[in-house]
C-alpha cells in the first residue's frame, strides 16, 4: 500500500478525535470511515495502530470497547498536516459528528466493567460521566460472573433511570 492514502486516513482519524470533547470508540471512528467507503477495515486498523504506536492517539480498553483520544502530539501533527485533508472530507466529518454527537457522547460516558475480586466474588463497577466529570459511580459485589455481566449490560440500558431514582431518594 502506498503511504499517501494511509497518511490521509490517519489525518482523518486525528481530525475526528480533535473535533470532539470526549473519547471516541474505535467502532465510532470506523462507522464513519467505513460508511463513507474511504478505506477497508484492515487498512483502518493499520492506520489506528500506527497512530497509537506513534503516541499520537491513546487507546484505552474497557470490556469490549476501545476508546481513542488524541494526544498533544497528535494535535500538533494535525496542525502541521491537517491542510492535507480535503475540505469536503472535513465537512463530512463535521456533519457526522454533529448528527451523532449525543448518541456517541452517551456511548462513551456510560462505563461498566466487572472483575473478580480477591475475595472470589465479582465486582461490577458502574460509572456515568458528563463532560468528563463523574456524576455517579457504583461498585456492586456479586457472587458470580454472569450476574456481574448482566449488571453491566443493564447499566448501559437503564443508567438514566437508576441515576434519577438515586437522586429522588437522596435529595
Tens digit of each residue's pLDDT (9 = 90 or more) over 16-47: 999 998 889 999 999 999 999 999 999 999 99
Coil/strand/helix, residue 102: helix
Q: How distant is the alpha carbon of residue 64 from its chain centre?
A: 11
- Rounded percentage of the chain residues whose pLDDT exceeds 90: 67
Output the nine-digit C-alpha cell for 36: 463513507
| 108 — pLDDT class (breaks 50, 70, 90) | confident
pLDDT the model gives residue 62? 72
Q: Is the pTM of this model over 0.75?
A: no
Report the mean per-residue pLDDT for the chain: 90
> What is the four-CA torsion angle of 63, 163, 22, 114, rounded to 10 degrees?
-10
> Could you give all domains of the chain from N- to C-terminal order, each with its CATH number?
3-100 (1.10.10.10), 109-170 (no CATH)
Side by side, the strands of the sheet bearing 57-62 are 24-25, 65-70, 57-62
Tens digit of each residue's pLDDT (9 = 90 or more) over 45-95: 999 999 999 999 999 887 678 889 999 999 999 999 999 999 999 999 999
Amino acid at each position: 500500500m502506498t503511504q499517501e492514502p494511509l497518511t490521509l486516513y490517519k489525518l482523518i482519524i486525528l481530525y475526528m478525535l480533535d473535533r470532539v470533547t470526549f473519547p471516541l470508540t474505535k467502532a465510532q471512528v470506523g462507522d464513519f470511515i467505513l460508511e463513507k467507503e474511504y478505506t477497508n477495515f484492515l487498512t483502518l486498523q493499520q492506520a489506528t495502530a500506527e497512530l497509537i504506536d506513534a503516541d499520537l492517539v491513546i487507546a484505552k480498553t474497557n470490556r469490549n470497547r476501545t476508546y481513542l483520544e488524541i494526544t498533544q502530539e497528535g494535535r500538533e501533527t494535525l496542525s502541521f498536516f491537517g491542510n492535507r485533508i480535503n475540505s469536503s472530507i472535513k465537512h463530512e466529518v463535521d456533519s457526522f459528528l454533529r448528527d451523532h454527537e449525543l448518541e456517541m457522547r452517551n456511548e462513551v460516558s456510560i462505563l461498566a466493567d466487572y472483575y473478580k475480586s480477591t475475595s472470589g466474588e465479582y465486582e461490577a463497577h458502574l460509572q456515568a460521566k458528563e463532560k468528563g466529570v463523574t456524576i455517579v459511580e457504583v461498585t456492586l459485589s456479586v457472587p458470580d460472573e454472569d450476574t456481574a455481566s448482566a449488571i453491566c449490560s443493564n447499566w448501559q440500558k437503564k443508567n438514566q433511570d437508576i441515576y434519577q431514582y438515586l437522586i429522588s431518594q437522596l435529595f
